[in-house]
Amino acid sequence: MSRICEITGKKVMSGNNVSHSKRRTKRKFYPNLMTKKFYIPEEDRYVTLKVSAAALRTINKNGILATLKKAKEQGFYKG
């Protein structure tokens, strides 16, 4: 399964490890993802999402239904 947040669209980024001698080697920056189950009371069902920590804060602020609607519009959530 890919490492992409289903709410914000955050995904793996690439960059460099830079040593003391400024020698550069490739590395990856992974998003802080976790699999969470959310209850949608309007539809009386549960939804399992792979979300980042930033997405959890967004869901707490705006609510799960509004956040899912916005993620669908942006093309991140296909549920």
What is the set of domains in the chain, with CATH numbers? 13-74 (2.30.170.40)
User: Among 35, 31, 2, 34, which residue's Cα sits nearest to residue 14?
Assistant: 31
Which tokens is 71 given? 């993620």
pLDDT tens-digit series, residues 6-48: 999 999 999 999 999 999 999 999 999 999 999 999 999 999 9
Q: How far apart are CA 21 and CA 8, in angstroms?
A: 36
Residue whose C-alpha is closest to residue 9's, from 76, 79, 78: 76
- Looking only at the bridges linking them, the beta strands covering 45-52 and 33-40 are antiparallel
CA dist 72 and 24 (Å) reads 38
Q: What is the pTM of this model?
A: 0.87
